[in-house]
Every structure is written in structure tokens, then in C-alpha cells.
Amino acid sequence: MSKYIDIAVNLIGSALEKNIDKIIQDAAAQGVSPLIVIGSDLDESEQAIKRCQQYPQQLFCTAGIHPHHASEWQADSAEQIKRLTAFPQVVAIGECGLDYNRDFSPRPMQRKAFEAQLALAIELQMPVLMHERDAHEDFLAILKEYRPSLPAALLHCFTGNRQSMQAYLELDLHLGITGWVCDERRGQELAELVTDIPDNRILIETDSPYLLPRSMRPKPKSSKNKPQYLPYISAYIADLRGQNHQEFAQRVYENSVDFFALKKREDFSIERGEPHEAS
């Protein structure tokens, strides 16, 4: 069985959390383990760490403040995130970035929180997991300033156009691809672009419980996306790229391990290809 790492699961406070045991078990049965749980504000990041501690062989997480919550940024927010990153379960700063589509936080506050988290990722030399929607120009301008000192940077749930993709690849970003690519209505452009992402820069994710792949047959009874569907997304992308399913899955798995520096984690064994408890 191929191995997969779902790099973006919105577990905390979502429909998935109440069935967390089954979600983790069903994913693992399909070779999807571990899962990277997203922290989108300080409280959610703390809750994510607690969940990871409960499932040390199956969950890792991020810690950060999403642009939707940027208005909550305070003078001590960076220090609070820094405190959270001391927990070994935290593998990246984020989810941070800019979202001008919803504008749940004022744009100046979004930019301030984004820059502060990039600076923190540089200080700690940690990967950063980022979000960008309808904010390409400002996002790119800010990122260009910080990217040379960042150890690794991922734009998750990429749904942009060719121009933005090329700009991000020139900055040596990793791009996370979701089931959006399986949507015959909205994902056609992404389906064309995904063939041009270099093998060493592509990652895959469900972004569950959102973005259930529309092309799945039989269609799941629930409209909620789940980490167990990641192999379907992987195979769909491999077909678009004209690559062997198993070879593509293995390469993306290795990309995920490298990006999140999982080889350095005591509870993860790349040799075995799965997490294990520290001795």
C-alpha cells in the first residue's frame, strides 16, 4: 500500500473532531498517516497540540494565526506562538497569510500578522504554511522580502493561475494541491497547471472537511471531505501528470517528510515509513 501524509486537516472545532478516532483509523487504513492538523488562531493551535499529544503516532500540527483572525493579533502574539512551537508536535508556523476575498480582518492587520509570523519562522528556522486568496500582489511582495531566510515555505490549497504559480515557484515555494483539482467546474485551470509543478515542489492535501472531490464515484454519502480520500486525490493528480500512481505517491510522501523535517522527530521513522512511539 502506498503511504500518504495529509498536510492540511481542519480538525479542531470541525465536524471531523467529534469522530476523531474513526477519522484517524479510516485514514490510516488507506495509508494516510500522519495527519497535519491546522492551527488557525492561538486557541485552536493549543487545542491542536493537545489532540496531537493524545494521538502521538498519528497527528502533528501547525501553530499560527490565519488572516481571518489577524484582527486578534496582539503585541505578545508572536511570543505566544513561539511558546507553542516549543512543543514537539508543532511542525510549522501557520496557517498564516492574506485573504482579501472574505476580508474578515482589515487588510493592514492581515499584512502585519503575516509579516510577524514570517519573521518568527525565520527566527526559529521553522517551515511556514501559508494561505493566499485574492491577494497575490501583496502576498508576493511581502514574501519576496522574507523568503531568502525562510528554511521552507508552503502555499497550501493553491488554486491560482499560471502567472501566480510561476511567481511562487520562482520563490521556491512548495504548492499544496487539494481536491479542487477534481472539480470539473472550478478546477479546470488547476488541472492544466498541476502538470507543470516540479516533482520536488508538489504536496497533496484534503483541506478536510472542505473541498470534497466532486469526481469521486461512488459519491460519498456525506458532503464532508475526509483524510481517507487523499489517495483518490493523489491518483487523480498522477493521472493528470501522466505519472505512475505509486511512484507519484511515494515522491509526494517524501516531499512531505522533508518539508516538515519529520526525520528529526523522535516519534517518526522514515525507515519504517510510519510514526512510532519514542522509546
The grid cell for 113 is 500578522
pLDDT digits (tens, 9 = 90+) for 46-58: 999 999 999 998 9
* pLDDT number for residue 277: 36
The domain containing residue 259 runs over which residues? 4-271
- Kindly state whether residue 156 falls inside one of the protein's structural domains: yes
Identify whether 80 is part of a domain: yes
pTM, two decimals, is 0.94
The least confident of 118-132, 179-193, 258-272 is: 258-272
pLDDT digits (tens, 9 = 90+) for 193-252: 999 999 999 999 999 999 999 999 999 988 999 999 999 999 999 999 999 999 999 999
C-alpha cell at 137: 500582489
Greatest Cα pair distance, the chain, in angstroms, is: 50
Task: Indicate which CATH number applies to the domain containing 123.
Answer: 3.20.20.140
Exposure of 275 by Cβ count < 10 A (0-12 exposed, 13-18 middle, 19+ buried)? buried
Angle at 238 between CA 233 and CA 241, to 5 degrees: 130
**H or E stretch covering 91:** strand 90-99
| Count of the separate structural domains present in the chain | 1
Edge-to-edge strand order for the sheet containing 32-37?
Answer: 4-9, 32-37, 59-63, 90-99, 128-133, 153-155, 174-177, 202-204
Cell of 235: 491518483
* 277 within domain boundaries: no
- Residue 15 belongs to some domain of the structure: yes
Sign of the dihedral through C-alpha 46, 154, 65, 116: positive
- The DSSP secondary-structure symbol of 101 reads T
Q: Rounding to the nearest 10 degrees, give the CA dihedral for residues 199, 256, 23, 227.
A: -20
Helical segments of the chain, H only: 20-29, 42-54, 77-85, 107-124, 136-146, 162-170, 188-193, 230-241, 245-259
Average pLDDT of the residues of the chain: 94
Task: Summarize the confidence of residues 251-265 as an average pLDDT.
Answer: 94
Residue ranges at the known binding site for a divalent metal cation: 95, 131, 156, 207
Q: What is the pLDDT of residues 123-145, one digit of tens each?
A: 999 999 999 999 999 999 999 99
Specify the DSSP element, H or E, that contains 162.
helix 162-170
Residue for grid cell 489517495? 231
Q: 279 in a domain, yes or no?
A: no
Is 36 within a domain? Answer: yes
Report which of 48, 21, 25 is spatially closest to residue 36, judged by C-alpha positions.
48
Q: What residue numbers does the annotated binding site cover?
A: 95, 131, 156, 207
Type of residue found at 206:
T
Give me 145's grid cell: 522580502
In a domain, 278, yes or no: no
Residue 227 resides in a domain: yes
